[in-house]
Amino acid sequence: MTTPTGGVFAQGAASSTASPGLAGGRRVEIAVVEKSAFCVLPLTVAERLRFFAAEGLDVQIRDFPDATAAVQTVLQGRAQVLSASFGTAALLQARGVMPMTSFLLQGRTPQLVLGLSTQAHPESDPLRNVRGLRVGVAGLHTGAHRVARLVLRKAGVSPALVQYVPLRQHDAAIRAFRTGQIDAICHTDPTITLLEQEGGLKVLADTRTVRGNAEVFGGPLPAACLAASATTLDKQPELFQAISHAMVRALKWLQTAGPSDVIRVVPEAYFMGDRALYLSAFARAREAWTPDGMMPEDGPGTLLKAVSSLGEMPELQEVDLARTYTNRFALKAKARFRA
């Protein structure tokens, strides 16, 4: 996911008045990039299981193909909430664009995996004598690009020997990998799970798990979140508490949902014609969603260290990271649902 503010692991003032919903609930507009992506699945769960409606909310989720449009929608006041990476929200604040604050964490890992083609690099230590590496990524200056750079740098691979190939679409990434157009890939599911099942992928780094995330970044790196302007959060705490209640309920549901539950709730279009593959990818992604919506205290610091090591987002050095998020809403929702 490419964003104007830094991508996935980054990934005017907004209106502070929610209008009445069509069903009598409080109307809320949420701008999201690629609603069908695994990283923001909690949003779809809360919507489809009517958890928002149970809190008296009429939530309209507006899906955008890129983050630029989603961010602009919030900046122009046409949406009150942005569903994006925590880094995106933090960078908007650091650059003085808008004082965005993350109030509900959806993902505690970015769900990105870096793997090598076993056909192109069959040796047991494939990076030892690498002379050139073509790495497919979701896009340049995205979380996938940064994860690949971090991992390869730690492995001692010179940046001069690596060529990054943008392959955003699932089908294009699969085709490039299968046909040998790339030697490695850093992508999300279901792309990675399919390549794993085919047996042609040697995983080098896996941020779908909490442990793998820490191995790449040196600590917990927060991913997808819900964010809003600090002013709006202060003016309408009851509204954002209701949103948080619905989302934490969805996050809790995801921790125990079985295959039949997923098939019943997730829209058919999300399966891309392969339910079995989606369910396999879902099982691998379960740990990536936070169970309670809480931001880990050292999460923002982990982000800062990661981007600083790559020489990116220098603005984050100047921002008070404690002001980039709040756990006050998630904490109450956690207690209510015993998440």
- List the one residue out of 202, 203, 204, 190 whose CA is nearest residue 285: 190
Length of the chain: 339
Cα–Cα distances (Å) from 245 to 234, 239, 250, 302, in that order, read: 17, 10, 9, 27
- Cα angle 153-157-163, degrees, rounded to a multiple of 5: 95
**What is the pTM (predicted TM-score) of this model?**
0.90
The pair phi, psi for residue 219, each rounded to 5°, is 170, -175
Could you tell me the domains of the chain?
26-109+220-337 (3.40.190.10), 113-206 (3.40.190.10)
Between CA 218 and CA 25 the distance in angstroms is 43
For residue 197, the SS3 value is helix
pLDDT tens sequence across 298-328 = 999 999 999 999 999 999 999 999 999 999 9
Per residue in 56-83, pLDDT (tens digit) is 999 999 999 888 899 999 999 999 999 9
pLDDT for residue 16: 32
